[in-house]
Structure 1
Amino acid sequence: MSNTVIITDTSCDLPEEVVNKLPVIRLKMSVSLKDNPGDDISYLDIKEFYDKMRRGEIIPVTSQVPVNVFMTCFEELRKEGKKGIVLGLSSKLTGSYQAALVAKETTKADHVKVLDTKCASLGTGLVVYKAAQMAEEGRDFDEISREIEFYAHHMEHIFTVDDLEFLKRGGRISGAQAFIGGLLNIKPILHMVDGAIFPLEKVRGRKNVVKRMVEIAAERGKNLENQLIGISHGDNEELALELADAMKREFNVKQIMISWIGPVIGSHSGPGTVALFFQNA
């Protein structure tokens, strides 16, 4: 095992049991109520969180990892003689990346590298998972940084949401883009481009969403059979499992990690979201 530790945040949506087995530090991005920013609701059971969103009982908002939290983390690693690689949510979606850069400069943390993954949810999670595995294998700090940046920047994010209004409310897409989603059982498919969210196309109905997401994977994916594929969902396990089965049938995929979309990402994507992550190179 190397002396490299992977630093991420609570938007990465890696299952708890996976994080606990790896050299990973997960910093908190707070989730609170829009009308009461001081009221932390990240403690809510994830099913309860989505049920409350569906009923309109909560309007959650999120906050970046504070600079001082990064500073404390970097100083603790220095004392322990360890190095750290920061792999968090895309800089287009949070201020955490800039906060980490400020903390690195302030603390003169030459033992820390801050990378912009340009990923979100389990897309970030798969990047963190791979980097942590490399650290466990004893790979060199610079080698991990170099390889993981390539891996992150070739991570495809293909996802569908039940209601684009949540992304609009959080400023992740425009009102005009949100309008298309609620019409006549139209299901939007979105993707990430250079770390930002964009609508990709529209399909009619649940069945066609899975079919089209698998087709996009065929168009963009490379060597899918031998990849670790990621699927995350916002209280929509049934559709996530349908997608997983379809990926196995079409591409003989052997490894799929399925996780819940946690409150940080779920605050913006809303209940019902299902996302697919794979490598395009």
Structure 2
Amino acid sequence: MTIKILSDSACDLPEEILDEYNIEILPIVVNKGEKEFLDRATLMPKEMYDDMRNGAVYKTAQIPPHMFEEKFEEIAKKKESAIYIAFSSGLSGTYQTAVIVRDTMKGKYPELDLDIVDSKSASLGFGLIVHKAAQMAKEGKVKAEILKTIEFYVKHIEHIFTVDDIEYLFRGGRVRRSQAFIGGLLNIKPILVFNDGKIVPFEKIRGRNKVMKRMLEIMEERGKSADLKNQVIGINHGDDINGAMQLKKMIEEEFGCKEFIINMLCCSIGAHSGPGTLSVFFLNEKPDKVIEL
């Protein structure tokens, strides 16, 4: 039996990959004032970023329980074996809600075969985990092996990202107004990373080109044991394909990487980081021997 892989819109995988591997995603809720949207369903990232540039403010909310109930009940009725890989619990309550709904539904469907995993990741860092799990499922790997691989990826996936305008971090409640004002005046671009599923400020750099060069330096420092050349590298952007392609070219030239997944940052994350965000994702260790059962 092929294992079904489920995730949510924050995984940022392109539609062609979702289709190729039959990955189902549940949409995170995005709000603009009193209007409610579903990420990548009733609100597309490009539309949101254009609106944000004109001053619009978006907020996010986790996936409502009824969506999980409907999907999990479908899995139970079809007697499928599934894995739901969730957006980091350090940034959203989605993982906890999914676990509560799954455990409650087991009272009605005790045979429900569903594992739920906290990715402790976001965007394409999260997406690379989902992508690998879906590849293994398509190859017919057993659930235990897929879960073992997911566990490795969760522990070793790296996130390095920067925002183009610190004002959006202020709107999303991530920095104080004084920090946003000074940062804008000085053209300061923060570099942020992930630590145990949470966003952590790393450095502040002045100027876009210097930021991208520094991102590569951090990538080299953290990827020394990872065989970067033979990895799938994730690059995401907040409606800045030119910046993403520039970053891709720099990574190709520096590390010889050949395989990339590049996509626009979803609404549920971009609502907080804003247009012009750039990010890169990779493993900091080689998985070859670690994931053998």
TM bucket (normalised to shorter chain) is over 0.9
CA separation in 2, counterparts of 1:248 and 1:215? 14
Counterpart residue identity of residue 29, structure 1: I
Structure 2 equivalent of residue 117 of structure 1: 119
CA separation in 1, counterparts of 2:10 and 2:262? 15
Counterpart residue identity of residue 176, structure 2: G
The question of whether the paired residues in 2 share the 8 Å contact of 1:23 and 1:135 is answered with no
What TM-score, normalized to structure 2?
A: 0.89
Q: What's the offset of the Cα at 1:163? A: 2.3
Does structure 1 residue 242 correspond to structure 2 residue 240? no
Structure 2 equivalent of residue 257 of structure 1: 261
Corresponding residue SS for 2:158: strand
Alignment of structure 1 residues 261-280 onto 2, 5 Å: 261-280=265-284
The question of whether the paired residues in 1 share the 8 Å contact of 2:170 and 2:177 is answered with no
Q: What's the offset of the Cα at 1:277? A: 0.3
| Segment drifting more, 100-109 vs 132-141 | 100-109
Decide which of 188, 193, 208 is 1:206's aligned counterpart: 208
Corresponding residue SS for 2:214: helix
Alignment of structure 1 residues 157-196 onto 2, 5 Å: 157-171=159-173, 173-175=174-176, 178-179=179-180, 181-196=183-198
Q: What's the offset of the Cα at 1:98? A: 0.7
Counterpart residue identity of residue 192, structure 1: F
Structure 2 equivalent of residue 232 of structure 1: 236
CA RMSD of aligned residues (A): 1.9
Q: What's the offset of the Cα at 1:82? A: 1.1
Structure 2 equivalent of residue 7 of structure 1: 6
Q: What's the offset of the Cα at 1:45? A: 4.5
Q: What's the offset of the Cα at 1:19? A: 0.4
Structure 1 equivalent of residue 290 of structure 2: none
Alignment of structure 1 residues 74-113 onto 2, 5 Å: 74-108=72-106, 110-113=112-115
Structure 2 portions without partners, runs of 5+: 286-293
The question of whether the paired residues in 2 share the 8 Å contact of 1:177 and 1:199 is answered with no
Corresponding residue SS for 1:11: helix
The question of whether the paired residues in 1 share the 8 Å contact of 2:156 and 2:283 is answered with yes
Describe the shift of the 1:38–1:229 C-alpha distance in structure 2 as closer, same or farther (beyond 3 A). closer
Corresponding residue SS for 2:10: coil
Q: What's the offset of the Cα at 1:202? A: 1.3
CA separation in 2, counterparts of 1:59 and 1:31? 10
Structure 1 portions without partners, runs of 5+: none
Counterpart residue identity of residue 8, structure 1: S
Q: Aligned residues, how many?
A: 277
CA separation in 2, counterparts of 1:190 and 1:268? 13
Decide which of 196, 216, 227 is 2:218's aligned counterpart: 216
Counterpart residue identity of residue 147, structure 2: S
Structure 2 equivalent of residue 53 of structure 1: 52
| Segment drifting more, 73-82 vs 231-240 | 73-82
CA separation in 2, counterparts of 1:182 and 1:26? 36
Counterpart residue identity of residue 9, structure 1: D
CA separation in 2, counterparts of 1:218 and 1:177? 33
Q: What's the offset of the Cα at 1:88? A: 2.0
CA separation in 2, counterparts of 1:190 and 1:72? 36
CA separation in 1, counterparts of 2:135 and 2:37? 36
Counterpart residue identity of residue 261, structure 1: L
Q: What's the offset of the Cα at 1:46? A: 3.0
